[in-house]
Amino acid sequence: MGNANNTVSVAGSSRGSVSINNNKNNVNQRPPKRARNNNNNVNQPPAKRVNVSRNNTVSVAGSNQKANTRNRLIKNLKNKGLSNNAINRFVKSYNNGTKGVNQILQEVKTNTKRQQNAKNAATLRQLKQLRPELF
């Protein structure tokens, strides 16, 4: 009755129902899921560029930046009127990597405020001793 791909049973046969079976493998199957991109390391810094000069000496870009920052830090600390001992202490903590530039400058700011307050208090004490009538 039918071709090789279709099986047909007519009413009144042994089962008593009509069924048409096309031999196509599930056409409505879902496509496979797309693989996700693994973006765990999105914020990695770019690799440093390597510059080769004419005489074949290799210099890494950005390696001189720390020295420049260190020199600017020293210059900044000297301009704030700190003693050499204090400057050396702050620069040593920067070199060790225990403190950053901003942290050092914040500490210098609080120290200079403290020193100024101490100086003002000493001046007031001295003034009270010399001229108590003003107080």
Q: 123 near 131, Cβ under 8 Å?
A: no
Per-residue pLDDT of 57-74, as tens digits, reads: 555 555 588 889 999 999
Q: Is residue 35 part of a domain?
A: no
Distance CA 11, CA 71 (A): 99
Instruction: Say how many domains are in the chain.
Output: 1
What confidence score (pLDDT) does residue 8 get? 56
Summarised one tens digit per residue, pLDDT across range 89-127 is: 999 999 999 999 999 999 999 988 888 899 999 999 999
Nearest-angstrom CA–CA distance, 67 and 41: 29
Tell me whether residue 84 is in a domain.
Answer: yes
Instruction: For residue 52, tell me if it sits in a domain.
Output: no
Residue 110 inside a domain? The answer is yes
Residues 70 and 38 sit within 8 Å (Cβ to Cβ)? no
Q: Is 117 inside any structural domain?
A: yes
Residue 36, in any domain of the structure: no
